[in-house]
Each structure stands twice: as structure tokens, then as C-alpha cells.
Amino acid sequence: MRKKVVLITGASGEVGQALIEAIGQSGSAELLTFDLNPLPEQLRQYVVRHVQGDLLDTILLGRLVTEYEIDTIYHLAAMLSKSSEFRPDVAHQVNVSGTLGLLRLASEQSQWRESSIQFLFPSSIAVYGMPEIAQSKSLYNKVREWEWNQPRTMYGCNKLYCENLGVYYSQYLRQMASSQPVMVDFRCVRFPGLISAVTVPTGGTSDFAPEMLHAAAQGQNYLCWAREDTRIPFMAMPDAARAMLQLAHAPKAALSRRVYNVTSFSPGAQEFANLVQEAFPNCHVTFQPDNKRQAILDSWPADVDDSAARTDWGWMPEYNLFDAFQSYLLPAIKARYR
């Protein structure tokens, strides 16, 4: 008999690590993890098996479903916004073809087991593209899910399209060749920039904030490639893992949509630097904007409206900006670099 598992792709990435820890500590599921990279040693205790491989390797994925009955998929693997701009064609392969392959796997699995498969997907503020008029970010504050869906990056285009693929697979797919219904329960959170005390991001455009904090905690100065007045939404990493789990556990009847904004705080880059320098007075932050990355930041909203998530499944971040620094980031990051 196949072993029932929850599959996490992109398991060795930032969100993956936070999610494995959260699920692992609750002991609520058997985890099968998948990533191009090895799983950090301290997380191995929480997983049944880690598979190191490429998501586009359909034979490898096919072999996994002969061994495991996949109950839920957290599909986190993706190339982030900055990396995707270097090789948009590769990003499209990884982000879109990778997701399509997994949606297909989920639909087949649901037919074999004759019951629903949950498919949790992290999307991003990169799906938004704000108009290039001065003050547009303050004019269109608290952007709702269906507004300004005109992404300016390959990553944003990929995420928006994959959201739509997920909705298609769960609501509209007609299996012309089969009488068995497909039951993919696709649920998606659009994350803001994420800040972890234990992992350092690479390849993203919101990375300036966590990079600044991690540099300061190591006693280094930081040359910030975002402008002082840059404002985008952020969230502490434990809240990101909690948001995904909370959405996964929400009763289906309570959900009025399949794609939800979630956010917590929207500090300006200078404001964030002030908090960092207050905590680490030896760190000096200077600003030298990189035009290309700044253009991406300027196209993302200053804040998003996450009221649907709050109403439908009780979303509420545990950490506002102050609490994130005082209760999570500073204690954990000081311990990390001690």
C-alpha cells in the first residue's frame, strides 16, 4: 500500500523551511519533501523522505506517485523575481511548467483515490503592476486581489498565470477522456516580502530588507539598492507559514475566493533602516538605488487589502512591525549570529 504523505516542493527554500518546522513540530502529517538542494540537517527529523531533484523531471515525479499517496501539495518551488529577470525563459519553465506538471499530477491522484487533493500555492505581490504615474502607490493604497493585475516581471506574470491555472484545474477542467471527476482543491495566498531571522533570501526584489537586517546582525554596514522612500508590504516568516496552514485548514464552505492577499506591515525603506540601526547601532545603512530593481519595487503596491482572508478564514498576522522586531527578528537573529 502507498504511504499517505503531504508533498512540499521548494522544501529547502525560505518558506519551505518555515513550513516544515511548523508542520513537523505539530506532528500533524507525514512529509515528503522535494528540492534541487539538500534539506538542512536540522529539518530531516520532520520528514519521511527528502528527494533531491528537478521538478521538471516527470519520470522522477511519476515514480514518487507509485510509492506515495499524495494527499496535499504545498508547491513552493519557484525562481524569484530578480533571478527570473536574468533568464525569463528558464523562469517560465520552472515556474509555469513546474506548476502545470504538479497540477496534472494532483488531478490524476484525485481520480485514482476518488477524493480531493489540496493544492496550496504561494503567489506574490509581484502579480501587481502599479501605473507609472507619480504618487500612484499612495493613490491606490490597499490594493484588492483583482486590481492592477498587470505584472512587470516574468516572475509576476508566471505567478498570476499559475493562479489562474489553479482555479482552472479546480473549477473548470472538463475531463473529456474520463468519466471520473477531477477534485483539485486549489488555495493560494499572495505573499508580501517575507523576512526571516533564520534564513537569508536570494533572488528576490524584496530582499533588501532582510539583507539589511542580516548584515547589521553580523556587524556589517549595508549599501541598500532600494530608494529611501520605497514602500512595499512585508510579513514575518512565521506568519507566512501560519497563513498557508490556516488557509489549508479552513472549511471549504467559508472560502469566497481561491486567491487571497495576506500582509502585515508596510514600512518605508528608511523607516526599516532606522529600526535596524537602532537595534545594531554599529551598522551604517547607505542608499544607492539600482534602477532596474527599483523599477520593480515601484511597480508593486505599498499595501494590499487582505480583508477577504480576515473575513473568510480568520487571517490575522501575529507580528506587526514592532512585534516582529522585538519578539521575533531581534532575539532570533542575535542568537543566530552570536
| Interface contacts to ligand SER, rule CB under 6 A | 80-81, 124-126, 155, 191, 193, 204-206
- Of the pair 124, 170, the CB lying nearest ligand SER is at 124
- Of the pair 83, 107, the CB lying nearest ligand SER is at 83
What minimum distance in Å lies between the beta carbon of 158 and ligand SER?
11
Instruction: Give the DSSP H or E segment for 116.
Output: none
| DSSP, residue by residue, 231-244 | B--EEEHHHHHHHH
What minimum distance in Å lies between the beta carbon of 14 and ligand SER?
9
- Of the pair 184, 237, the CB lying nearest ligand SER is at 237
What minimum distance in Å lies between the beta carbon of 125 and ligand SER?
6
- Of the pair 46, 191, the CB lying nearest ligand SER is at 191
**How distant, in Å, are the alpha carbons of 6, 132, 170, 268 from that of 139?**
42, 12, 35, 16
Angle (CA) 36 39 233, round 5°: 80
- Of the pair 101, 203, the CB lying nearest ligand SER is at 203
What minimum distance in Å lies between the beta carbon of 79 and ligand SER?
9
What minimum distance in Å lies between the beta carbon of 59 and ligand SER?
30
What minimum distance in Å lies between the beta carbon of 167 and ligand SER?
19
- Of the pair 76, 126, the CB lying nearest ligand SER is at 126
CB 65 within 8 A of CB 104: no
- Of the pair 105, 304, the CB lying nearest ligand SER is at 304
Q: How far apart are CA 48 and CA 196, in angstroms?
A: 25
What minimum distance in Å lies between the beta carbon of 80 and ligand SER?
4
Q: How far apart are CA 159 and CA 284, in angstroms?
A: 35
CB 166 within 8 A of CB 117: no
CB 288 within 8 A of CB 224: yes
| DSSP, residue by residue, 277-336 | HHHSTT--EEE---HHHHHHHHHS-S-B--HHHHHHH----S--HHHIIIIIIHHHHHHH
Residue of this chain nearest to ligand SER (CB atom) = 204
**CA neighbours within 13 Å on the CB side: how many for 54?**
8
Grid cell 485548514 in the structure block, residue: 249
Q: How far apart are CA 283 and CA 50, in angstroms?
A: 39
